[in-house]
Each structure stands twice: as structure tokens, then as C-alpha cells.
Structure 1
Amino acid sequence: MLKAKDGDFFISDWLRNRNTLEYLGIWERLYNPGFNYGEFATIRNQSGLNSFKISVKEYVEKTHAIGIQAKAGRYGGTYAHKDIAFEFGMWISAEFKIYLVREFQRLKEQELAQLGWSAKRELSKINYRIHTDAIKQNLIPAEVTPQQASRIYASEADVLNVAMFGLTALEWRDAHPDLKGNVRDYATVNELICLSNMENLNAVFIGEGLPQHERLVRLNRIAIQQMQILEDVNKKYLK
């Protein structure tokens, strides 16, 4: 982070700072059960005085710190855990601090976006349960075998797949032999939102006694309309 000839001065000055010592003390408390709190308290109490000065080597020897180390020799220098290195970087450079904050915010936004996708996926699973319950109540005759029931469920699942994705689950697997999972695992957030709505609507259509081919046509029209609306909304947010 710093060249050797400049580093010693900056690190020594940084280590004199009371806020730095507070940070180092908290870090060691979290990760170092052998930390010498008595010696650390003495060092911390001296911080802020004009006469106070301490090297990394002296600090480590007195406190048994593990988060920062000073090594001598050809490849020597001051080494620190990345948590402490980030703290040092923010102390010497306001620009570095801004970049670090921006990167943290970007990662949090990315994490929230991923959580949103997962939430939509879970919502789709819940609605699929509603969908399959409707099939059981309205399409499955009494005393059918488990194999028959399975075929009916699969058929209804493909109604949604064809309406939304244009192909059945088997057709998707045949077209993507190298991919794991199913077509819904690779759907976009908008597709999952639309699919969630379609599952609810299909359950209603089943309850109304609509034949499968009619439901497929209706669901496909709804999918096209809803995807157009969702894509238009996305474009507005991107402007």
C-alpha cells in the first residue's frame, strides 16, 4: 500500500492515533483470545500525548497482537489483516475511503437484488402449491393411482411452461443437456413474477372448469401482456 521509505512514517503516525488504537483493540478482542488488555490499556491511555510514539514491533511485543505484524529482512515490512489494512487505507486516503464505501454499497445492492430473485422464486414455489391443490380438487378423479396423479401434475406444469417459456420441461432439458435444474431456475425476475401470477390464474381457471387447451391460450396471452408491462417498467427505471 505504501513504499518502504514512506511507510514507516505513515504507519508510526497512524499508530499514535487514539481512534486507530480503539479500532485495533476491538479487532483483537474479537479475534485474539491471547491479547494483553492490560498493556493495551496503558498504550491507549498514552495516545494523544505529543511525546507518545510506538512502533508496530513494540506494539505487538507488548500486547501480543495478531492483526498487524512487522517483519525484518529482505522481504520485511508491515503486514496486517485485511480489516486493518482497509482501516489504514481509509486513514491515509479519503479517495480510497470513498471507493471502499461505493464498493460496499454496490455489493449490498447486488445482494439485495439476488435476495429479490430468491424471494420471487420462493413465491413461485408457494403459488405452485396452490396451483397443484386446485388440480387435485378439480382434475384428479377419485381413487387414481399415484402414477396417474403424477402425469396430471406434470401436464399442468407444462401448460404453464409452454404459456410462459414456449416449451415443455422435457423439451427444455433436451435443448439444454448441460444445464442442471429446470427452466424456472434460469428464469429472470420478471419471468418469475409473471409465472407466479399465472399459477394463481390457472388455479382459478381450473376451478371454473375451463379445458386445458383454452387455459393454455389464455395464459399465453396474459404472459405476453404482463411481460410487456414489466419490461416497460424496467426501461423506465433504467432511464
Structure 2
Amino acid sequence: MQAPNPQSPGHPAVDDPLGLLPRVLHRDAMMLIIDKPAGLPVHKGPGGGANLADHLGSLRFGLPRDPELAHRLDKETSGCLVLGRHRKALARLTDLFKANQIDKTYWAVVEGGPQAETGTIDLAMAPRDPKRGWWMKIDPKGQPAVTRFQVLGRGGGLTWLALEPVTGRTHQLRLHCQASGFPILGDPIYGHAPRRGGPGLHLMARAIAIPFDARKPAVTATAPAPGHMQGALAACGWTEA
């Protein structure tokens, strides 16, 4: 369900400094799915600055409480992000994410690429540094981590992949691609991109399917390819619909 424009006649003006309203992909009584912009952190970092959590009031759509994040995406990852609109809905969404019952498809453009057209990456992971829990390494004694991949296109030394995380570990897709010999283009942590001035992380949460109510079809949403990925995607055969 596409949300009506709250800025249209009959709706009061809404303060939306981050431009989130046009990025709503789905809205119902239980949840919102938005297209999170690349470069926007979901939570406030130690250095402060703009973040999504501080601006969720613009997405109330008449409810008395702000929606809340049901999961997270990395700062540099764009695409489908799910918000619960009230506590009961948020609890249900949280349980579904923890149980890995939500189907998530990511798009990535990687340097090089796998030889096979489809496959599974099964490499356990653990933190590289206990003081930085987000910085991960491959570790046979770590937590199980499984990613399915499918090649969608190739060109110019790059490969366009659809990635499906079976598990949901921190930086799983980024580390799995790097450890498999095809780091994600623009990744400054696990790839070859510089810390500043690189092409931007070429990873997006493309689509999601949420079986919120077993009696109804899954709630689905698809996010558009972000601008910084479109050139590399086009080199691999992608054409904008």
C-alpha cells in the first residue's frame, strides 16, 4: 500500500527535514517500510549528526507515538527498512527478524565475482576486536553465518549480485563477499575503497517480504536503486524500469 501524501490538501503540514515522506514504500496499520538513504545512520553516533531515529516523528501519519525501528541497516546501505507503528506490532516484527522468518534480498556490485552463477557462502564470523563489535572476521569458532547469492549480471570487471542472508550477522554480506574473493565495490572496511572520497558502498536492501499475519499474504516492498549505484549496475546490464 502506497502512503498518501501528507502534504496534500486536507493534511496538515509535516516537518520532514530529512525528506523521509517521499521515501515511504509501504504503510499499513502495523508497519512502515521506507527507502533509507545511503549515508544516513539509523541511530545517533558518538560524533552526533543527523540520524533517522531523531526524525521518526515525521512518519507518525496521525498516530500519537513515533514509529520505531524493527531492525537496522548500516549507515552506507540504502533500501528497505521496517518500522513498527506501535508496541504490539514492533514486538511481532522483532520476533520475526530474530527468528530469520523475514525474506530479505540485497543487491550488491562486487569487484570480480564468483565463478558460479548461484551458490551459498557458509562461513562463521566473530568480532575482530572486542572493543569494536561491528568489525568482523571469519572465524570457524564464531557464530554460524550463511548467505545465498545469484549473479544478475556482469561487465567491466564487476558483478551484480542478489544476496539473501539466511542469518543476520553484523556486516555479514560485506565480509562474506570479501572472504570469497569479490569485495563489494566502495567498501572502505572490507574492500579497497578509501575512507573518504570513494564511490560509496554498492550495497542496498532491494526487497523484503514480511509474513506478519499467517492468514494473509506477506507484506512486500521493493526499493529503487540509489543514484551512486546506477552506473556500476548499468555496466553489469541493469536497466532502470
TM bracket, shorter-chain basis: under 0.3
TM-score (norm 2): 0.19
Q: Which of the two has greater strand per residue?
A: 2
TM-score (norm 1): 0.19
The answer to which structure, 1 or 2, has the higher relative contact order (CA under 8 A, 6+ apart) is: 2
Q: Which of the two has greater helix per residue?
A: 1
Larger radius of gyration: 1
